[in-house]
Amino acid sequence: MSRIGGLASGGGGNLEAILAAGLPVAVVVVDRPCRATELAEAAGVPWELVEWGGDRVDFTHRVVDSLENHGVELVAMAGFMRILEKPIFDAFPGRVLNTHPALLPSFRGAHAVEDALAAGVKVTGVTIHVAVAEVDAGPIIAQEAVPVLDGDTADTLHERIKAVEHRLYPDTIKRFMETGR
Ligand code: GRF
């Protein structure tokens, strides 16, 4: 099985789901103090803080170093709120996965849930994809729809999206490790 490197910045819900699924996480890398480090410790997984330094390429190199030091083979971005540059896609070609809270190619970017609500779509969802240098592009490997309900706010809609992510992302990582797709 591949050794997974989890990248997280925030609530850590996706990381928690990946750990709970028993996937082989070798290290958790965070870019700021956040709940993900507590989740890693509770699971007995090492974690590293790679602080943002203002230069994206340099930051990406330091993230890659940290992942490589732990023998990572597959990277799972799990609510990582930094844009990474070419060095990580060179180091792990086709092996950086991401979850996005919308049905790509609709609503790319950091405000996908708000943007879907503002557009008035009746259905949005979750996309698991292979990350590439272009943000929220790259081959789609799984998608699941989530209906937008009357009266939804960004928070209520995002909660339902996250519930789907927490099942679909670990399941998809597992399948990707087994089949490469
Ligand atoms: C997820 O919905 C993810 O797709 C988006 O931000 C949320 C992060 O949640 N980029 P968490 O940190 O995994 O709880």
- Confidence tier at 10 by pLDDT (50, 70, 90): confident
Mean pLDDT of the chain: 97
Residues with active-site annotation? 100
- Tell me the per-residue pLDDT of 118-167, one tens digit each, with 9 for 90 and over: 999 999 999 999 999 999 999 999 999 999 999 999 999 999 999 999 99
pTM: 0.96
Distance of alpha carbon 79 from alpha carbon 64, whole angstroms:
17
**Eight-class DSSP state of 72:** -
Checking if the pLDDT of 1 tops 70, the result is no
**162, 164, 173, best to mutate for ligand 1 pocket (most atoms within 8 Å of CB):** 162
Averaged pLDDT for residues 95-100: 98
pLDDT at position 69: 98
Non-local (6+) Cβ contacts of 15 within 8 A are: 6, 8, 28, 36, 39, 40, 78, 79
Q: Which residue, by CA, sits nearest to atom 7 of ligand 1? A: 79
The kind and range of the H/E element at 116 are: helix 112-119
How buried is residue 121: exposed, middle or buried, by Cβ count under 10 Å (0-12/13-18/19+)?
middle
- Tell me the per-residue pLDDT of 50-82, one tens digit each, with 9 for 90 and over: 999 989 999 999 999 999 999 999 999 999 999
CA-nearest of 79, 80, 87 to 55 is 87
The number of residues in the chain equals 181
Ligand 1 pocket, Cβ-based, cut-off 6 angstroms: 8, 10-14, 78-79, 99-101, 161-162, 165
Angle of helix 112-119 relative to helix 154-179, nearest 10 degrees, comes to: 120
For ligand 1, the distance from its centroid to the CA atom of residue 161, given in whole angstroms, is 9
Q: Which tokens belong to 8?
A: 């997280």
Respond yes or no on whether the N-terminal peptide bond of residue 139 is cis (omega within 30° of 0).
no
pLDDT at position 161: 98
Distance of alpha carbon 54 from alpha carbon 82, whole angstroms:
11
Checking if the pLDDT of 84 tops 60, the result is yes
Angle of CA points 132, 119, 140, to nearest 5°: 25
